Amino acid sequence: MTKTLDRTVRIRSAWRAAWDHGRFEALDGLLSPRYVRRRGPAATAQDRDTFKDSIRAVRLAFPDLRTEIEEIVEDGDRIAVRWRSTGHHTAPFLGVPPTGRPVEVAGATFSRFDGPEVAEEWVTWDPRQLLEVLGVITTTKEAAVDADLVRGVHRKFITGVTVVTTDDDGTPKGLAVNAFSSISLDPPMVLVCVQNSSSTHPALHRASHLGISILAADQLDVARTFASKAEDKFAGLAWTPGPHGAPLIGGSCAQLEVEIGERLQAGSHTVFTGRVVSARHDDLAPLVYSGGGFFDISQTAPLPW
């Protein structure tokens, strides 16, 4: 507990000094000299000095920048930080002349400690908020639709039930997900959407591969377990590591392993897209979810068409 509190205090102090006040040397006591920061699959990794330079550039454009740490979650040598930044655009940024507009962006940073120092970080945020305010992109804004109405629409859509998993330094992690879809068959690509607040989200974000097990109709108890907040969802469960290490649930009607390609911020969720690198399926009826309930459709007959 003391170590966790110390790390939390140090993160808050260093972030406040660097982001809010431009005292970049405060990061030297937190970040390892071999520090690496990754912002996404398409972005160039940053070392400690280039990270400082990027903060400096942001502060020049937004001199009243303030960053609020909304939540810090610790898991072993890893810490997840949920943050929100605000400021006014008063100097050129990304080639855009100053607009004077207020800007607010939010995201999450996942840190891996090596002893007392941060060795690696992965950051995810939705840049559309910033680009839209700066006028780089334009979207048409319609009146907001009532959330309960949208929820009612979604309840009419029937889906399968998947368990999305990953190996986190030897510890299996996973959650139940029905937001799963095929993207293409050539090349074979799929996507899953995971809520940022999920305890499995940090492990998935730093993973290279994830597993997707499509549950069979007799696996309602498995669905309930992985939809819960249980500490060890794999206790007493039959599972095996796939060829690329992702945990795959025994008795499921289909299994995939996916090499993660992109991690896209979309509102409260991260969309993980990737290439299928292993697959298998059995002749078992799938578990089906609709309107808040689970169903076995093995006895239903297909409609003629």
The string of pLDDT tens digits covering residues 256-286 is: 999 998 888 777 888 999 999 999 999 999 9
132 versus 245: the higher-pLDDT residue is 245
In this prediction, residues 211-229 reach a mean pLDDT of: 95
Domains of the chain, CATH where assigned: 2-133 (3.10.450.50), 148-292 (2.30.110.10)
pLDDT at 47 over 70: yes
Find out whether 179 and 219 touch, Cβ atoms under 8 Å.
no
How crowded is residue 51: how many other Cβ atoms within 10 Å of its Cβ? 21
Q: Please report the pLDDT score of residue 193 as a whole number.
A: 95
Instruction: Show Cβ contacts of residue 207 under 8 Å, excluding neighbours closer than 6 positions.
Output: 166, 167, 168, 260
197 versus 163: the higher-pLDDT residue is 163
Predicted confidence (pLDDT) per residue in 232-242, tens digit = 999 999 999 99
Q: Please report the pLDDT score of residue 23 as a whole number.
A: 95
Residue 34 binned pLDDT confidence (cut-offs 50, 70, 90): very high
Q: Work out the mean pLDDT of the chain and round it to a whole number.
A: 89
pLDDT at 38 over 90: no
Sign of CA dihedral 145, 262, 204, 192: positive
pLDDT at 71 over 60: yes
Residue 1 binned pLDDT confidence (cut-offs 50, 70, 90): very low
Is omega for the bond preceding 187 within 30 degrees of 0, making it cis?
yes
Q: Please report the pLDDT score of residue 150 as a whole number.
A: 87
Q: How far apart are CA 265 and CA 210, in angstroms?
A: 17
The two tokens of residue 47 are: 């070392």
pTM beyond 0.85, yes or no: no
Q: Please report the pLDDT score of residue 93 as a whole number.
A: 85
Q: Reduce the secondary structure of 62-125 to three states and give it as a string.
A: CCCCEEEEEEEEEECCEEEEEEEEEEECCCCECCECCCCCEEEEEEEEEEEEECCEEEEEEEEE
User: In degrees to the nearest 10, what's the CA dihedral of 66, 87, 206, 162?
Assistant: 110
